[in-house]
Amino acid sequence: MLDCAIIGGGPAGLTAGLYATRGGLKNVTMFEMGMPGGQITQSSEIENYPGVFREGMTGMELMEPWPHQCQHFGLKHEMKEVKRVFKTGSHFTLDFGKEQIDAKTVIVCTGSTPRRAGFKGEDEFFGKGVSTCATCDGFFYKNKEVAVLGGGDTALEEALYLANICSKVYVIHRRDAFRAAPPTVERVKNNEKIELVLNASIDEAFGDMMGLSGLKIAFKDGTEPRTLDVPGVFVFVGNNVNNHVLRQADGSYLCEVNANGEVIVDLNMHTDVPGLYAAGDMRINAAKQVVCAAADGAICGMQALNHVLEGA
């Protein structure tokens, strides 16, 4: 039986493994089908990870030493896909389809996946002008014009954030009303650097090998299409929480989740099931930043260690 099973190999999972093994747990395995590192490995440039600053640093370069450091202290990595986790008496069982493994504690950090809007060129220019994180990439467009796609709280909050950096922000929304909180909508409408492009959608993103150079906008009411000459567009049309491993045979979840499928945890990353923890982008109120996911993982690693020692 494992002392701790970690599902997911991004910053949260790796850090959880580092703290659990360095803290004294001898039998800790991280299950990650691909190479460890997580979504951040797809980022073309990293400037906001504390203590790591070099011009041109990519997400892949940032994450490269993490697995080696964690495995140095005893973390094992198995490239197996966990289908489901369920409770068996006082411990947990990980189901891989053809085999099962038991564990005293489980840390789930399978993240979330930003939804794609589906416009032409979105995939082609993802990471080269199309982004899903203003905090990560907004600085690269300092004093330039950018666009934001979406009408929820996240989209408008990120538009306000970008307005502090960029010369102008176009907010493109498919309706003429917003789902965001009224105070946020009011702040957006009163910001002179934000222009609302309503009843509209992105028909196509275009550019060249260097990256995005503009967007073709289509309007629902038949208004003449418009072209926005922007080098960056930030897409906020929701996230798909990767919580499938927590779904039980009867369709319920092993632990409590909110309406969006995000795992509900306390400040110590505890779920409502003792010994089960969640970290990173899949938990409620996640900041969706590498440094925050790593902090979550550290907390989980220490909590799992305490849980095992208390039960010894």
Of the residues 4, 70, 109, 136, which is catalytic?
136
Q: Which two tokens stand for residue 84?
A: 């489901």
Torsion sign across C-alpha atoms 270, 271, 276, 279 = negative
Of the residues 95, 133, 153, 203, which is catalytic?
133
Residues of 152-184 as b/e, b for ≥16 C-beta within 10 angstroms? bebbbbbbbbbbebbebbbbbbbeeebebeeeb
Note the helical H segments in 236-283: none
Residue 4 among the catalytic residues: no
Of the residues 3, 137, 281, 296, which is catalytic?
137
Distance CA 300, CA 286 (A): 14
Residue 185, class by beta-carbon neighbours within 10 Å (0-12 exposed, 13-18 middle, 19+ buried)?
Answer: middle
Residue 166 among the catalytic residues: no
Q: Which two tokens stand for residue 88?
A: 């068996």
**Which residues does the annotation mark as catalytic?**
133, 136-137
